[in-house]
Chain A
Amino acid sequence: MSDANLDHKGRPVIVVTGVGVVTSLGAGRQDNWAALTAGKSGIHQITRFPTEGLRTTIGGTVDFLKDVPISAPLLTERFAVLAVEEAVAQAKIGSAGNFPGPLFMAVPPVEVDWPQRFELYEAGKAGGGTGYARLFAGARSGDYRRYHELSTFGWPAERIAEKFGTRGGPVSLSTACASGASAIQLGLEALRRGDCAAALCVGSDGSVHAEAVIRFSLLSALSTSNNPPEAAAKPFSADRDGFVVAEGAGALVLETLDHARARGAEILAVLRGCGERADDFHRTRSKPDGSSIIGAIERAMDDAGLAPDEIDYVNAHGTGTPENDKMEYLGLSTVLGDALTSIPVSSNKSMIGHSLTAAGAVEAVFSILTMRTGRIPPTINYNVPDPAIPLDVVPNVARDASVATVMSNSFGFGGQNLCLVLAAEPA
Chain B
Amino acid sequence: MATRSPRDAVITGIGLISPLAEGVADHVRLLTGEALPQPGIDAESFAPYPFHPLVEVDLSLQIPKRDQRQMETWQRYGTYAAGLALADAGLAGNEAVLSEAGLIVAAGGGERDPEVDGAILEGMANAGDRDAFLNERLMSDLRPTLFLAQLTNLLAGNISIVHHVTGSSRSFMGEELAGAMALQTAMRQIGAGQGDVFLVGGAYSAGRPDMLLYFACGDYLLEGSEVPPVWQRGGGRGGLVCGSMGAFLVIEAREHAQKRGARIYARLEDVVADRGSREDASALRARAARQTARLEELAGDAPIGLLSGASGAAGALALERAMIDELSARREVYVRGCATMIGHGLEAQVPACVALAAAALKEKTFYRPFDESGFEKPAVTAPDRIAVTGWGHWRGESLAVIAADD
Question: Which positions in A face B, CB cutoff 8 Å?
Answer: 49-55, 107, 109, 111-112, 114, 117-118, 120-122, 130-136, 139-140, 144-149, 151-154, 157-158, 161-162, 168-176, 182, 186, 189-190, 192-195, 210-211, 214-219, 276-284, 292, 412-416
Whether B173 and A153, one on each chain, are in contact in the complex, defined by CB atoms closer than 8 angstroms, is yes
Chain B residues, Cβ within 8 Å of A134: 121
Q: Chain B, 125-137, contact with A by CB distance < 8 Å: what is the 0/1 string?
A: 1000011101110
B228 on interface, CB distance cutoff 8 Å: no
Q: How far is the CA of A51 from the CA of B212 in the complex (A)?
A: 30
For the complex with contacts A193-B192, A279-B166, 10 further pairs of A-B residues with Cβ separation under 8 Å are A53-B136, A109-B173, A114-B120, A131-B115, A145-B219, A152-B174, A174-B152, A210-B134, A281-B161, A282-B161
Within 8 A of A (CB), among B379-406: 392, 394-396, 398
- B213 and A139 contacting across the interface, CB-CB below 8 Å: yes
Contact of A278 among B136, B147, B165, B219 (CB under 8 A): B165
Residue from A140, A175, A210, A216 within 8 A of B216 (CB atoms): A140
Report the nearest B residue to A179, measured CB to CB.
B153
Task: Give the chain B neighbours of A186 by CB distance below 8 A.
Answer: 170, 185
Q: Is the CB of A148 within 8 A of B142?
A: no
Across-interface contacts of B144 in A (CB, < 8 A) = 215, 218-219
CB-CB under 8 A from B214, the residues of chain A are 111-112, 147-148, 151-152
| A and B contact pairs by CB, cutoff 8 A, 14 listed | A109-B110, A117-B121, A132-B114, A132-B210, A147-B217, A158-B174, A158-B395, A175-B169, A210-B134, A276-B169, A280-B165, A413-B154, A415-B160, A416-B169
Q: For B168, give the chain A residue with the smallest CB separation.
A: A276
Chain B, range 132-187, C-beta contacts under 8 Å to A? 132, 134-136, 138-139, 142-144, 147-148, 150-154, 156-158, 160-161, 164-175, 177-178, 180-181, 184-185
Does B118 sit at the interface, judged by CB under 8 A?
A: yes
Given contacts A145-B219, A218-B147, contact A53 B396 (CB under 8 A): no
A residues within 8 A CB of B152? Answer: 109, 153, 174, 176
Does chain A have a CB within 8 A of B312?
Answer: no
Q: Does B122 reach chain A (CB closer than 8 Å)? A: yes
What A residues does B49 contact at CB under 8 A? 136
Number of contacting residues on B, CB 8 A? 87
CA of A371 to CA of B139, assembled, Å: 43
- Return chain A residues, CB-CB under 8 Å to B108: 153
Interface string of B233-260 (1 = CB under 8 A from A): 0000000000000000000000000000
Contact (A109, B161) CB under 8 Å given A168-B274, A169-B275, A170-B174? no
Q: Are B118 and A130 in contact (CB under 8 A)?
A: yes
Given A193-B191, A283-B158; A136-B46 close (CB under 8 Å): yes
Q: Which chain B residues in 19-72 approach chain A with CB under 8 Å?
A: 46-49, 70
Q: Would you call A145 and B184 a contact (CB within 8 A)?
A: no
Chain B residue with minimal CB distance to A107?
B173
- Inter-chain contact B151/A414, CB cutoff 8 Å: yes
B266 to chain A, nearest CB (A): 22
Residue in contact with A280 in the complex, picked from B161, B191, B217, CB distance below 8 Å: B161
Which of A109, A149, A182 has most chain B Cβ within 10 Å?
Answer: A109
| A111 (CB) vs chain B CBs: closest residue | B109
Contact across chains for B181 and A171 when beta carbons are under 8 A apart: yes
Pair count A-B, CB < 8 A: 257
**B188 proximal to A (CB < 8 A):** yes
Within 8 Å CB of A118, what residues of B?
121, 124-125, 130
Contact of A193 among B121, B189, B277 (CB under 8 A): B189
Residues of B within 8 A of A193 (CB): 188-189, 191-192, 194
Select one of B143, B167, B173 contacting A172, CB under 8 A.
Answer: B173
Q: What is the CA–CA distance of A144 and B213 in the complex, to the nearest angstrom? A: 10
In angstroms, Cα B49 to Cα A132, docked, is: 12
Task: Specify which of A120, A169, A412 is in contact with B153 (CB 8 Å cutoff).
Answer: A412
Per-residue 0/1 for B257-293: is the Cβ within 8 Å of any A Cβ (1 yes, 0 no)? Answer: 0000000000000000111110000000000000000
What is the CB-to-nearest-CB distance from B241 to chain A, in angstroms, rounded to a whole number?
15
Residues in A with CB closer than 8 Å to B125 are 118, 121-122
Q: Does B103 contact A (CB under 8 A)?
A: yes
Please provide the 6 A-B residue pairs with the shortest distance between their CB atoms, ordered closest to farther.
A131-B118, A148-B218, A414-B157, A154-B174, A169-B273, A193-B192
B117 interface residue, CB < 8 Å from A?
yes
- CB of B135 within 8 A of CB of A416, answer no
CB–CB B394/A152 < 8 A: yes
Q: Does B220 contact A (CB under 8 A)?
A: yes
CA of A304 to CA of B164 in the docked complex: distance in angstroms?
26
Residues from chain A with Cβ under 8 Å of B174 in the complex: 152-154, 157-158, 170-172
B142/A109 in contact, CB under 8 A:
no
A residues near B90, Cβ cutoff 8 Å: none
Cβ B109 vs Cβ A210 within 8 A? no
CA distance A337 to B151 in the complex (A): 34
Chain B residues near A153 (CB-CB < 8 A): 108-109, 152, 173-175, 178
A contact residues around B132 at 8 Å (CB): 50, 52-53
Q: What residues of chain A lie closer than 8 Å to B157, measured between beta carbons?
A: 278, 283, 413-416
Q: In the complex, what's the smallest C-beta–C-beta distance from B282 to chain A, in angstroms?
A: 16
- Taking the complex as formed, is B229 at the interface, i.e. its CB lies under 8 A from any CB of chain A? no
- Which chain A residues lie closer than 8 Å to B120 at the CB level? 114
Q: Bound state CA distance, A105 and B201, in angstroms?
A: 20
Q: B213 touching A135 by the CB < 8 A rule?
A: yes
